[in-house]
Structure formats: structure tokens, C-alpha cells
Copies of this chain bind each other. A is one copy, B any other.
Amino acid sequence: MLPSFYGNWRHVFKLDPERQIDDATLDALCMSGTDAILVGGSSGVTFDNTVDLMSRIRRYEVSCAFELSDPSCGVPGFDGYFIPSVLNTKRSEWLIGHHVEALRDFGHLLPWESIVGEAYLVLNPDSTVARITGAEANIPSSEAIAYVQVADRLWNIPVLYVEYSGTFGDMELLKRIKSTMKQAHLFYGGGIDSPERARQAALYADTVVVGNIIYENLDAAISTVGAVHPSIKEQGHVF
């Protein structure tokens, strides 16, 4: 099997095409030593704002992938594409329905070798993604583990994304999730706004995703890279 484009990612910054980001900030992120820039958002993602952001990131050597929820935003030129499915929603269109519609129309055009299915377990009921997808995020740990077992062990889904978007998650649960998993690559996102939280999440997640703090406190965002990649720790950033 070919190595995946995300297999060695320990730290990524997630950028939302809908949100403004100036050149100096983007430069700091791309030169920070992070493993990749992940482009995606829960709403307001368009072909135009995605192309614009991608072309700016592409000036740098850093890897760059796209989380593609809407096929009409299928911008070519990324290193890889994640196609998210939400496990814990009763609205089957967010698990499989939208995907089938998209593949029915565009499946024959896709660069399959760089496309990966990604199973989301949405665990913050107040997040935008939970509202949009109708995710039942307020579930006991035993149920969260059961979702992971279906995705990872029964279905062999290649990527599992534990999403606490907007809040820092339950690290005990993340630990249990990682220990029950057989094969999937584990992303963790939500509330990573300090080196200490990045370090904690990196104990269990294969990849730690740093998002919102980028737009609130760039120094804090940059400081998470060194926490996950100790060799980068002392370099600081370009500001």
C-alpha cells in the first residue's frame, strides 16, 4: 500500500476559506514547522474563496489538503482531499447521502488516489458542525466508543476525526478511543489554544488540529507546533 499523504502529520493548522487571513499571518503559519495546512469549514466555503486561499498557501512548501464537504467546491491542486462523514447523526445525508449525490455526478472525474474518507465523531453539541449536521453530540462515552468501533473495526475507515470544535475535549475519552482503535488515523480538533493542550491531545491523537486560535491569538497558535514537535520548540516564529 502506498503511504498516505497524511500518515506522518502530527500537527496541522486548519484554515477556513470564509475567514480573512493576512499575508503575514499566513506566512507565520506556513513557516511554523507544522506538518500541513488543512483547508475546510462548516459553512460559507465556496470555489472562489477556496481557490484564493489555496493559491496563497501554495507559495510555501508546506503540505496542503482540503476537507471537501461540497463537491461544487472541488478545487484541484491540493496534495490530498478528505471527504467527511458524520457518524453520530440520524440525518443519513451527512453520513452517506450527500456523498452519493456528489459521486453520482462527479465520481468519474475524481483523483481517487488522493481522496480519503474521514469519519467525524462530533462531540460538542454547541458547535456549528453539530447544528448543521444534526449530530447527537451529547452521548455517553460508551456510545462514542461504539461509533469508533463501527467506523474503525467494522468498516475500516481510514481516518477518524474526533471533533470538539470550540471547546477542549475529554482527554480521558480520547485516550479510550485511541486504545480501542485498530487501524484508523486519529485526528483531534477542538480548543487547542496552548502548548499544554496541544501536548495533551498529542499523547493520544495521531494528528492535532489547531484552528480557531489562529484567528484570535497567533502567538498562542504558533506555540502549539513546538509542543507537538519538540525539535521546533525553541525556534520561535518569524514575528
The interface of chain A, by Cβ under 8 A from chain B, is 83, 85, 87, 89-92, 95-97, 99-104, 107, 112, 115-117, 119, 142-143, 145-147, 149-150, 153-158, 182
Contact = CB atoms under 8 A, between A and B. Distances in A.
- How many copies make up the complex? 2
Given A95-B96, A117-B154, 10 more contacts: A91-B92, A103-B146, A104-B145, A104-B146, A107-B149, A117-B150, A117-B155, A117-B156, A119-B155, A155-B156
Contacts of A157: 155-156
A119 B155 CA distance: 8
B154 A107 contact: no
B115 A154 contact: yes
A25 B143 CA distance: 43
Contacts of A117: 150, 153-156
